[in-house]
Amino acid sequence: MINSYVGGVVYDVMAHHAMPGNRAEVLRDTYIPRWRAGKLDGAVVQVHNWQVIGSYFAEIARSEGEITYCTTRADFDNRPEGSFGLFFSLEGHGDLAGDLEALYALDALGVTTFTFSHNLQNLLCTGSNERFGEGGFSHLGKATLKELEQTSLMVDLVHMSRASFWDALDLYDGDLFVSHSNADALCPHPRNLTDDQIKAVAERNGVVGLNTFRGYVAPDPTKATLSDLLDHAMHMYNLIGPEHISIGADYCESPVEMLVPILDMVDPEGAHGIKGRGRELYEFGPDGIEDAGHLGNLAAGLAERGLRQDEIDLICGESYLRMLERARPGEQHG
């Protein structure tokens, strides 16, 4: 099983690596055991700048083979037995926004994905939680999209306003997907996707990753359950089939105290029900799938909903790997 969005862990990793003389192994000591308990054997972690990339590479090097850096399907399929596969995705709206030449370095390093937004307006586009959310791509964002067509990085349309989403489909001809969003039809929220958006991603051979964040699972997030998340899965299944669904389980991962200010920041006016509710909404996932150690319950739930094993395999990683293989065909890191 592969989780195509592991966000919060980066803050814990960076806090440890900021200590002088550190020899931190945060992934190996804290997170990999939890992920393995949830039946994961691969994950996509978010990187923001060169410092974060260096910290993750240091952790991989110190892992004695327990973690394998993966840039392609071949890397993942051929990793040593029992080794955990780690992919990198750049949340490129931060330090590297506008550095078009850096895209080629990131591509050469094997970073798989470029993400344009984190819910708010930035230099590249308008995010989903912006008060005036109908703005789309800026000129710089359009230039970045154009440059990305010359690389093998996939484009992740998550966190965008709907206007930005449709701009991207109009402007960009390469591989794209949405790493962690649910169905707006079941849980109305600007971060979730309308049926038209879900179908548009599938028409471009992309995938939509099921998101475990309570606020995007149920209209009353305090009552969100695994069954609610399975309802999202089945809604997408009926719209686009299992070959266009993946797992984008956005768990808190890092200590919640690190992440509460970030949640307040992305909803500064409380317009989307997040500000002031970070601990309540994000500390634990929906009942029955509370953290990454319980992700195996999702696969079991899909079976109970009547999916065949080959369909479950698609959702649990095969769909993501097929998309990656199209983006980086025949390549292997190292």
Per-residue pLDDT tens digits for 258-268: 888 988 888 88
CA atoms within 13 A on the CB side of 129: 22
| Contact partners, residue 196, CB within 8 Å, separation at least 6 | none
Q: Which of 18-22, 76-80, 325-329 has the highest mean pLDDT?
A: 76-80
- Tokens read off for 196: 């038209």
Instruction: Find out whether 54 and 13 touch, Cβ atoms under 8 Å.
Output: no
Alpha helices in the chain (DSSP H): 9-17, 26, 32-37, 50-62, 73-77, 102-109, 139-148, 162-171, 195-203, 226-240, 256-266, 278-282, 296-304, 309-313, 319-327
Decide if 43 is inside a domain.
yes
What would the mean pLDDT of 136-153 be, rounded to a whole number?
96
**How far is 314 from 320, CA to CA, in rounded Å?**
8
Per-residue pLDDT tens digits for 161-181: 999 999 999 999 888 999 999
pLDDT of residue 129: 84
* Domain with 29 in it: 2-327
The one-letter amino acid code at 43 reads A
What would the mean pLDDT of 312-334 be, rounded to a whole number?
86
CATH number reported for the structural domain that contains residue 55 in this entry: 3.20.20.140
Per-residue pLDDT tens digits for 5-39: 998 899 999 999 998 888 999 999 999 999 999 99
- Please report the sign of the dihedral spanned by the C-alpha atoms of residue 330, residue 112, residue 52, residue 37: negative
Residue 80 phi, psi (nearest 5): -55, 145
Q: How confident is the model at residue 333 (pLDDT cuts 50, 70, 90)?
A: very low
Decide if 19 is inside a domain.
yes
Instruction: Find out whether 303 and 285 touch, Cβ atoms under 8 Å.
Output: no
Per-residue pLDDT tens digits for 208-254: 999 999 999 999 999 999 999 999 999 999 999 999 999 999 999 88
Per-residue pLDDT tens digits for 268-306: 888 788 889 988 999 999 999 999 999 999 999 999 999
pLDDT of residue 8: 86
The number of folded domains in the chain is 1
pLDDT above 50: residue 332: no
Q: How confident is the model at residue 133 (pLDDT cuts 50, 70, 90)?
A: low
Instruction: Find out whether 71 and 112 touch, Cβ atoms under 8 Å.
Output: yes
Decide if 333 is inside a domain.
no
How far is residue 250 CA from its own chain's centroid?
Answer: 7
Mean pLDDT computed over every residue of the chain: 94
Does residue 183 sit in helix, strand or coil?
Answer: strand
Decide if 334 is inside a domain.
no
